[in-house]
Structure 1
Amino acid sequence: MALHKSEGPITLNSIAERQGISEGYLEQLMMPLKRAGLVKSVRGAQGGYVLAKEPKDITVGEVIRALEGPIAPVACVSEDYPEECERAEGCVTRLVWAKVRDSIAEVLDSFTLEDLVQESRKHTGQSSYMYYI
């Protein structure tokens, strides 16, 4: 969607065809993206989906969190809802997992959809492999 932003609303059918995925699966992906305020639907004959914000204002981390939930290599260090573990206080590996989580989040949050659009344009002919958000 970021790559084709200037075309206006994009139908699920169009996105599904370009990405080689089913329209039904794509519908399931759009629901959490709408709830997260990343996309919005436009009704009518020329309707479809558009980004709710500018591509430069949406990070890859936001998309991943909307679709997959909080970043967490293991449940006990989840960003939002760390599960309590009876061994957490003396767990030496928890520190490692927390650093892994923070590193993953830092990388995901350092890229915007605009960054991916620019990268896609560098690789002419490969843009069809860019996911449509």
Structure 2
Amino acid sequence: MRVSSKGEYSLRALIVLAKYSEKRLKVKEISEEILVPTPYLEKLLAQLKTLDYITSKRGMDGGFQLKKESSEIFIGEVIRKLEGPLAPMGCVSVTSYEACSLEPTCLLQPLWGLVRDTVADVLDATTLQDLLDQNIQMKGEKTDGFLR
């Protein structure tokens, strides 16, 4: 699995919208916060609207807002809808399985399956609100701002 700039910037836009959930934000406000050019961001916001994550309103008091509560938006779902399967290889994909001639004797397939499951478990358990609350636990012990 690889997250493209589309996925990264879309998640950043959702975070900003969640951060300021009490008001509608203009494209320019979001753009300035996440440092993404306005024309590119407009395309991403249009896709997020199509995917039913955000709403928009035109006019002076217009802008963009989250359509759901940030605690109801799961990162795994967003990434899958924007980027496709989470599996690192087609032979272990749940949604886009691709057969491989080496599969019966492949010693890597269990590893790729574990990677897929681990990534899916983390992303599927993480909400937009978790990101806002900085409720993500990295492996290892964090001291003085550094991961040890």
Fold shared, TM-score > 0.5 on shorter chain: yes
Please state if 1:41 is matched with 2:56: yes
Structure 1 residues 100, 83: closer, same or farther in 2, change over 3 A?
same
Deviates more, 1:62-71 or 1:49-58: 62-71
Aligned to 1:65: 80
Structure 1 residues 102, 32: closer, same or farther in 2, change over 3 A?
farther
* 1:81 equivalent among 91, 96, 101: 96
Structure 1 residues 29, 78: closer, same or farther in 2, change over 3 A?
farther
* 1:51 equivalent among 66, 82, 87: 66
1:28-80 alpha-carbon deviations (Å, 9 max, x no partner): 32233223221222223222211121000001212222221221212322231
* 2:117 equivalent among 78, 97, 102: 102
Identity %: 39
Aligned to 1:22: 37
Structure 1 residues 35, 92: closer, same or farther in 2, change over 3 A?
farther
Deviates more, 1:84-93 or 1:97-106: 84-93
* 1:5 equivalent among 13, 16, 21: 21
Structure 2 residues without counterparts, runs of 5 or longer: 1-16, 136-148
Aligned mates of 1:87, 1:20 — CA distance in 2: 44
Aligned mates of 1:81, 1:24 — CA distance in 2: 31
